[in-house]
Structure 1
């Protein structure tokens, strides 16, 4: 029998959800739990409220986040997969740190499209102590992220991007230095494509036709002109203007077929190096692309 792909070795969720432990920390979760055919505790992942409560319990139990909430219909991210990205970024930075995983606020990370959930800064700051700056174009997301920071006493800087065409322009100042950027870009090119993706997810859950997403999502979170390739293309183009202000630029790439055109764009930008990092997560494999303008001899934290 083939071995099931696993999460990153440092991922706290590698062994699955410990519902008994989660319920001790968040008793409200128990009302959403059921038993699967094998008798194991689970939730209905097509239930928006159940998924939200699970995230609340995970963040409280594993990441010391006492308050977490997001506006209705906003993207409710799956925590295990999101934190995997953080762990693989730590491995990438370790290569520039004598192969030691870097910890502490001296590491500066820029989260593009941080969202209402603030999931990457929350998990990344807890796991490694990095200093995060979160950027988003949506004022509701910024307001939600700010409330999460305030209610938990977190020191995470939030910046509003005012121009939908800009990625780094307008949010990276002349004196800013970052060791890594991260991004989960909108992957659809239109509302119609986003809706088709929704139907596909609901069919996979065995729930038939619905316009709801079990993990939610606003338009700006799900689609943009040009889709994923268009967004990352702008990111690559603008990264050239701040090439000396960031060691590694990275972005998730949801579709493997998009890697080839993105790689062509990176060659055109004459980056010093680019690489694809694959992440095994349950039944699927996700990935992110990373690029740097620094020659290997100059890469040091």
Structure 2
């Protein structure tokens, strides 16, 4: 195939391996099956049809193989197929957040414990985080199919990732964080729609903005629990905030992605009523879109440094 490079038009994190865009010649060389899904855009650049879930799945497989040495990666039909570059950004910005309490720079190694809430069938955050920084991840999900898929990916790549099934969907941290557990950071990509109908409408708006025709498929697939939650992401994160207080001394930082900037105000109000010591909002620019995550901690700066020095050395 003729060498071609498609820029992502992004301002990704400086350590993000995808800053320069998709090098399809390199990707196809590593994953030949990707070539069948490549097309040419109007400018003659190689790309894929991002409305085709199978094409996105194959692109992800190639990206994970080429950049993160993931030999096996697949998803059951209907599960959320995440865009890799943006997911990678979350990991790198979390590393920066942890570095603030670590005198030796970016913390690396298995002594760094990360809790991934709603890890999904893709297991994408633990895969990237372990390959980039060597962190140990615990992935949690309420969906048995997602856990089964994640375990298969984990086993096939001989990765040491702990997976837990959350048997009480109303709980987020309860039943997951044990009395002797300690985590440096929790992360979550919460369901951001309030209903399935809202999720479908969101997909139609996205395809319309991209100049695509109507689609009956949800964007990148996704199960109900991955896409919507009664009350949307504000209600989900509010529950997370409420439960986090119980584990205030067992976690350095609690974090969650927030899809809509307008949702930050009610979340700030909720955190203001809680006994948190610090709150941060970290913006992550990806093309014309700006995503973000909110982070909160119950520990003072000195307490955070003490917690970090105990486990990060």
Give the TM-score normalised by structure 2: 0.93
Structure 1 residue aligned with 2:247: 242
Q: Is the 8 A contact 1:91 1:101 kept in 2?
A: yes
> Which of 67, 75, 83 is equivalent to 1:78?
83
Deviations 1:69-103 (A, max 9, x none): 01111100000000100000000000000160010
> Which of 203, 208, 225 is equivalent to 2:208?
203
Q: Structure 2: how far apart are the matches of 1:154 and 1:5?
A: 30
Number of residue equivalences: 298
**Root-mean-square deviation (CA), in Å?**
1.0
Q: Could you tell me which runs of 5 or more consecutive residues in structure 1 were left unpaired when the two chains were aligned.
A: none
- Structure 1 residue 48: Cα displacement: 1.0
Q: Structure 1: how far apart are the matches of 2:63 and 2:40?
A: 19
**Pair 1:12 & 2:11 matched:** no
Q: Is the 8 A contact 1:45 1:214 kept in 2?
A: no
Structure 1 residue aligned with 2:5: none
Q: Could you tell me which runs of 5 or more consecutive residues in structure 2 were left unpaired when the two chains were aligned.
A: 1-8, 309-313
Structure 2 residue aligned with 1:215: 220
Counterparts of 1:1-301 in structure 2, within 5 Å, are 5-98=10-103, 100-300=105-305, 301=308
Q: Is the 8 A contact 2:199 2:218 kept in 1?
A: no
Name segments (4+ residues, structure 1) moved above 6 Å. none
- Structure 1 residue 207: Cα displacement: 2.8
Structure 1 residue aligned with 2:4: none
- Structure 1 residue 282: Cα displacement: 1.3
- Structure 1 residue 203: Cα displacement: 1.6
- Structure 1 residue 178: Cα displacement: 0.1
Deviations 1:181-235 (A, max 9, x none): 0000000111121111121122223332222024111110000111100000000
Q: Is the 8 A contact 1:47 1:214 kept in 2?
A: no
Q: Structure 2: how far apart are the matches of 1:241 and 1:257?
A: 27
Q: Is the 8 A contact 1:111 1:132 kept in 2?
A: yes
